[in-house]
A and B are shown apart, each in its own frame.
Chain A
């Protein structure tokens, strides 16, 4: 893969032991530091750390997508309580704490996904909870060194060294040193805080070439087929496997559908916003019983159409960063990449592929 030249002015070298210093300095400044931690054997998540000893650098990616820091799995939006005389006290849950957060060690794909989420949560009506969390957080990404067979970031415009939405991209080196690329004002502030362990990179320094991630499909070609094939037997074929469990959506860094529900007893309760998923039958079911997406085929179609056709039409980019979580997690071996490569080969082969699939 070809690496593009990076402006030297944005590059800094960090001496060995910089991570410990960074955690200590940020802690001292009252910042909430989040970093990859092995929460159970083989599972790494971003978690709040008090010292660098808890941090693990031996991870392919974190299990849960980064979006949960800005759009939590579940959150209270309102609290209500019965009052005398039939009145109700309704309180808006305080937005988020003002404490600054620095994430050390997000992966570039998860961070890049925020570009899609920003568009959804900011268009027309600004989602104040999401925005407040975004504003208080600085994202220090660690360049991806170990893409696996399920990764396909390069197919959807990304790269193991993608800087999209990152404040700093860190290239870790074997000897404990690091090369840091500043990508934003927040990133510059982080470098300034670390001035004792970081210095401008010598002239001529360039980041290493990214590890290879094979390009597996072309979203533009897939979209051309999707444009013409809302009705196709292909969707039934895809859906036959699908259990509709929603694991793919919940683990997807760009999926953002949610539900709003009340949890209460007779006196008091909370209104919560929870992650939801378009694979579930109840997602679109009307009160009358009418369901615009009545079967798994229409729901599987929605997932693919939304990511590769509707979202690009609405917001100008695909709603996928190629992290591969959906492929790794699916318990029936459903594979987004093979769905898209199938679609692309249909696009190339015209209607022939359709005929072949109905004959099978």
Chain B
């Protein structure tokens, strides 16, 4: 397969295994590029990309912006906090106004699930979903799988554990889709209140005992506790959560194998993961961030090659 099967990256659900392979193969080349003395290629000189962030983000926005600039695209940034959205403009109007300025591609983060899909049906631009509410965060899942592949050689048949707030996490959902597509085994672990009732229909297993789950896995992806998405209490106190589902050095060292620890950031140090674990050599959190730029470059490059051809 020599090109993506999709014109937008709205979610991992819409991708094929071959798409992921192509993205990773392309990302390998960009990873080499971003480690050069001059970390820039001129491929996207004639492409303009708008980064529309209707929800706060630091890492993802910087990562996308850097990826776009490393490909020599022109970049405009928009954040809802300082825009006409506050004056009551609709999403389609906002985006069409931006596209009227000749923008080819839109990277969007939005608090509503499905915002990217909705937009892709109404506007004429390539859309990349940078997180839509509790739905999907496809580039995060891709960079997570890419990091696993880099560390373990392949994703297929590896045992991946996702710990934390599965219910509100778009990172968890995209990761489950991506990992299953690549043939990995997936288990989720967290308080029962934060694990969706029908999660097993996605082909993942559930474990509520963190130690047992850790004994099983090759990789543990520790999700952030998303206090901002919890409109009610799902667990008694943060301290209790930490005691039951927090990863500390003691548990990690007591396992009979060395597992890889991942975290999509931002870390609540001392809540889902302690500082000594986050800074240990088993943690690949900063590698994930570096790979994020390469993977996003690959996604943008591959989608851009399909614009107006």
Q: Do A and B make up one complex?
A: no
Q: Which residues of A contact B (CB under 8 A)?
A: none
